[in-house]
Structure 1
Amino acid sequence: MSSPFTVRRTVESDWPEVRGLRLEMIADTPLAYLETLEHAERRSEAEWRTWARDGSSAESITVVAIDTADGRWLATMMSKVPQGASGAFLYGVYVTPSHRGDAAGVTDALLSRIEAWAAERGSTLTLEVNEQNPRARAAYAKRGFVETGVTRPYPLDPTLRELEMRKQLG
């Protein structure tokens, strides 16, 4: 039986879908993405093209899950290795509500692809998650991420905190 979705990296021509999914994810979970919906809506086509193209660069990866039946974009994750870091950073994680949970397999499929890419570049995968996003915190913990104790103010509301979580790879 074939998979109900495919996983692949983004390319520049994906920019309309990248934009659409980004707007969906910010509207769904405004605290998770360090950007307001209004800001994202004002981005130019050139910015979206660059964002989509960067998903297939040597320095970063953006993977998406696409419904094989109707072509709808279901999920995305991004990773890059910050300059001077010993491991990769995971960000921009989103799974559309209809495909969340273990049964759907979307999160695990994308995270496996990111982890394989990150393991070629270092020994850890690090992320930050808003303290008021318990669903995401639990999902990351279930997949082997642990809180490091490092926190920082959430840029869009400094009264909230971003919590660092890390997973050892390999």
Structure 2
Amino acid sequence: MRIHRLRSDDWAQYSDLRLAGLADTPQAFGESLDHARSCTERDWRDRLSRMQGERALGLVAVADDGSWAGTMRGGVSGDDAWLYGVYVLPRHRRTGVARMLLTSMSDWATPQASRMLLHVATTNVRARRFYERNAFAVTGRSTTNPAHPHLTELEMSRLLRA
């Protein structure tokens, strides 16, 4: 398994992985499956181009056979790094893929931010447990998922540096 930085040319594989995530765990994302399905090649390329640069990063875990196993995105705002768009295909769960992605994202974010934040749906127990095992704690703040207004998301945080 290796970690690859997403580029605009990865749009077709990325869109397939994103659609798989939205179909598998729709409550975990701030986008509906219908919206993602309506995106054009240009839309996907634009989305990926926003994940490049000093303050934004998109990553994908690539299996030894070249297939994509999971993805994670991050962005820095002020002194905070935000983690979002996390998805690992079911056959790659509990194999260390999410941890590899999180380690790479943390390595990238640490020089720029003192803490990492994320939102996780209250119904996504599997993801919340993963974050808790990786030093994230609930901050006490919550929000509503824009794509699923009936769902509450908890904010979680972990220190990157003191």
TM-score tier (shorter): over 0.9
Distance 1:135 1:161 in 2: 16
Matches within 5 A, 1:34-113: 34-69=30-65, 71-82=66-77, 85-101=78-94, 104-113=95-104
Give the TM-score taking structure 1 as reference length: 0.90
**What do residues 32-90 of structure 1 show as CA deviations (whole Å, max 9, x unaligned)?**
11111110011121111122233332220011001122x111100000013xx321000
Distance 2:58 2:67 in 1: 16
User: Which consecutive unaligned segments of at least 5 residues does structure 1 have?
Assistant: none
What secondary structure sits across from 2:39 in the alignment?
Answer: coil
What secondary structure sits across from 1:81 in the alignment?
Answer: strand
Q: Which runs of 4+ in 1 moved over 6 A?
A: none
Residue in 2 aligned with 1:164?
A: 155
User: Which consecutive unaligned segments of at least 5 residues does structure 2 have?
Assistant: none
Which structure carries more relative contact order (alpha carbon 8 Å, separation 6+)? 2
Aligned length: 161
Give the TM-score taking structure 2 as reference length: 0.95
